[in-house]
């Protein structure tokens, strides 16, 4: 019998320190994790400073699309927890997406190196540790790094996400939505930044002012602010992140020939100084998946599990409309078989409406050195169900590789809070060599599709080649005026229709709230 088929704690042989020799409270905790179906093994229960290897703490595989949170202070082991979960998902045929902020997750593709520390941890938690590498695909945002370039067209990215990147206010965001609508109706394709800049420049020129007046609610001054923001953004070297070939997010759903799920690792260290950009790009990937995936309901296992690292960057300074859109997407993408894990330092980094959607929790240690730390600690404790532990004391005393866990059972009910000594990842706990990484990238079947940027004719070329006012297409003439109003992000009509999330139009409006567009493939 493998360690993944360990007998439930209540029937395990009694031994000193075994689950059956525990007080009633610990036995109740252990029995809450005795699942009968496929599950991921996190580690062993901790009680009264003892590790109890016969009491295994697990997550049911079908519940991984109910989303989750991995939190904890710097240096407490969050990255290794992501690696541990990603390995087991891959082994059970589930593709995984990992945002690699620090550049140390590429090791998931190589077998781990045995040492005394790893073997000691494995013995403590009754883990049959075997060095194993997992099928991985390496990506890099805009080609900044070793991975296959991930780009988006401006049209697909949409006005809401772009406004977040440009740090526009609500009025400017709504105005940008109107500019996108204008470009759509005039047949001006927005592939890269210079396309959008060309459209805004045209609208603010003497030649285009008449067109500007026809777009309700868009002033010359606001259009000028947007133009200056775009110019400054492009001057900072951001142009490479937008363009073609656009990354097809269905590439994230692949499995390897041996049936294991492919782990897509998005390398981000080269863009650490652009937090607004990379966090919003991660949201674009999720929104684009939401566009294309069909409804699947409750499945035996997820189609994809998406780890959203440094999640607080997405929520910092976000408008209410933007937060509402995130909440809607997280709530609805579950039914399409995608699980999302937010990774951050404390649960308070995640808005309460989003936090309420996260059924699986792995909370590493928190520090309480300052009054702010104490406040964050108390807030974190309040987000957990009632517990047999003194959580304030426990959370400040956890060691590296230990965490407080609560997940959803096979019936969808929260499991008891369990202090857990986590297993060791079986892949390399650190980055692979750059030469090995480059070789893996160039041998990938995706390399030929995305490595070389393409600059075809789009809005910039059309406007610079023919400075006259663009002619309205017959399709555009057929549109009624209210459709323009409906394109304004954050309008009252949008908010009203977004409440109809159970209908097809509700799902469409949710997509429109992000402003993202379905690609023509």
The residue out of 400, 426, 448 marking a domain boundary is 448
Residue 236 included in any domain: yes
The residue out of 410, 429, 448 marking a domain boundary is 448
Q: Does 204 lie in the same domain as 58?
A: no
Q: Does 359 lie in the same domain as 272?
A: yes
Task: Specify the number of domains making up the chain.
Answer: 2
Please choose, from the candidates 228, 232, 236, 261, the residue with its C-alpha nearest in 3D space to the C-alpha of residue 142. 236
Q: Does 403 lie in the same domain as 273?
A: yes
Identify the band that residue 272 occupies on the pLDDT scale cut at 50, 70 and 90: confident
Residue 520 included in any domain: no
Query: Higher model confidence: residue 289 or residue 214?
Result: 289
Residues 6+ apart with CB under 8 A from 161: 280, 283, 284, 287, 514, 515, 516
For 7-16, 172-181, 242-251, which range has the lowest pLDDT when averaged over its residues? Answer: 7-16
Residue 282 included in any domain: yes
Indicate if the pLDDT at residue 506 is higher than 60.
no
Residue 44 included in any domain: yes
Q: Does 248 lie in the same domain as 238?
A: no
Identify the band that residue 7 occupies on the pLDDT scale cut at 50, 70 and 90: very low
Evaluate whether 43 touches 308 at the Cβ level (below 8 Å). no
Identify the band that residue 31 occupies on the pLDDT scale cut at 50, 70 and 90: very high
This prediction's pTM:
0.84
Evaluate whether 396 touches 365 at the Cβ level (below 8 Å). yes
Average pLDDT, integer, range 457-479: 63
Q: Does 159 lie in the same domain as 97?
A: no
**pLDDT of 117-127, one tens digit each?**
999 999 999 99
- 263 is in which domain, residue-wise? 3-151+244-448
Identify the band that residue 112 occupies on the pLDDT scale cut at 50, 70 and 90: very high
Q: In whole angstroms, give the CA distance from residue 388 to residue 418.
A: 9
Average pLDDT, integer, range 323-344: 91
Evaluate whether 348 touches 375 at the Cβ level (below 8 Å). no
Task: Write out the DSSP string of 292-345.
Answer: HPPP--S-SS-SEEEEE-STHHHHTT--HHHHHHHHHHHHHHGGGTEEEEEEES
Q: Does 42 lie in the same domain as 132?
A: yes
Q: In whole angstroms, give the CA distance from residue 331 to residue 503.
A: 14
Residue 521 included in any domain: no
Q: Does 403 lie in the same domain as 320?
A: yes
pLDDT mean across residues, the chain = 84
Q: Does 253 lie in the same domain as 392?
A: yes
Evaluate whether 417 touches 406 at the Cβ level (below 8 Å). yes
Residues 6+ apart with CB under 8 A from 157: 242, 284, 515, 516
275-292 and 159-166 helices, crossing angle to 10°: 170
Q: The domain spanning residue 250 has which CATH number? A: 3.40.50.300
């Amino acid at each position: 019998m493998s360690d993944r088929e360990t007998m439930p704690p209540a029937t395990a042989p009694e031994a000193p320190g075994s689950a059956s020799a525990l007080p009633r409270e610990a036995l109740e905790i252990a029995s809450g994790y005795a699942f009968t179906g496929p599950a991921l093994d996190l580690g062993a229960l901790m009680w009264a400073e003892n590790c109890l290897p016969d009491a295994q703490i697990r997550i049911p595989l079908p519940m991984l699309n109910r989303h989750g949170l991995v939190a904890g202070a710097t240096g407490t082991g969050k990255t290794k927890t992501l690696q541990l979960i990603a390995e087991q998902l891959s082994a059970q045929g589930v593709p995984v997406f990992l945002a690699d902020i620090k550049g140390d997750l590429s090791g998931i593709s190589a077998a781990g190196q045995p040492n005394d520390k790893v073997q000691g941890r494995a013995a403590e938690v009754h883990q049959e540790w075997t060095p194993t590498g997992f099928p991985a695909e390496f990506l890099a945002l805009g080609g900044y790094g070793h991975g296959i370039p991930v780009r988006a067209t401006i049209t697909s990215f949409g006005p809401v996400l772009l406004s977040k990147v440009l740090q526009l206010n609500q009025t400017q965001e709504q105005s940008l939505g109107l500019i996108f609508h204008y470009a759509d109706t005039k047949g001006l394709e927005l592939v890269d930044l210079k396309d959008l800049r060309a459209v805004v420049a045209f609208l603010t020129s003497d030649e285009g002012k008449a067109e500007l007046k026809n777009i309700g609610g868009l002033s010359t001054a606001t259009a000028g602010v947007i133009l200056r923001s775009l110019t400054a953004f492009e001057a900072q070297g951001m142009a490479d992140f937008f363009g073609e070939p656009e990354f097809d997010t269905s590439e994230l759903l692949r499995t390897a020939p041996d049936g294991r799920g492919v782990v897509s690792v998005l390398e981000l260290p080269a863009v650490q100084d652009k937090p607004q950009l990379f966090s919003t790009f991660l949201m674009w990937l999720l929104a684009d998946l939401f566009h294309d995936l069909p409804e699947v309901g409750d499945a035996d296992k997820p189609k994809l599990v998406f780890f959203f690292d440094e999640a607080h960057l997405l929520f910092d300074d976000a408008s209410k409309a933007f937060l509402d859109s995130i909440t809607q997407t997280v709530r609805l993408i579950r039914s399409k078989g995608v699980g999302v894990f937010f990774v951050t330092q404390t649960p308070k980094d995640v808005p309460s409406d989003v936090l309420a959607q996260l059924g699986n929790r792995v909370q590493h240690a928190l520090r309480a050195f300052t009054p702010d730390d104490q406040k964050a600690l108390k807030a974190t404790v309040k987000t957990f169900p009632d517990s047999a532990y003194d959580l304030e004391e426990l959370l400040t005393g956890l060691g590296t590789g230990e965490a407080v866990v609560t997940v959803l059972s096979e019936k969808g009910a929260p499991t008891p809070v369990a202090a857990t000594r986590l297993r060791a990842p079986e892949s390399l706990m650190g980055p692979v060599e750059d030469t090995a990484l480059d070789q893996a990238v160039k041998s990938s079947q995706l390399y030929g599709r995305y490595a070389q940027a393409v600059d075809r004719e789009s809005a910039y070329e059309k406007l610079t080649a023919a400075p006259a006012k663009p002619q309205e297409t017959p399709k555009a003439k057929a549109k009624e005026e209210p459709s323009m109003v409906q394109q304004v992000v954050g309008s009252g009509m949008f908010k009203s229709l977004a409440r109809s999330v159970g209908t097809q139009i509700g799902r469409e409006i949710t997509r429109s709230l992000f402003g993202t567009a379905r690609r023509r493939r």
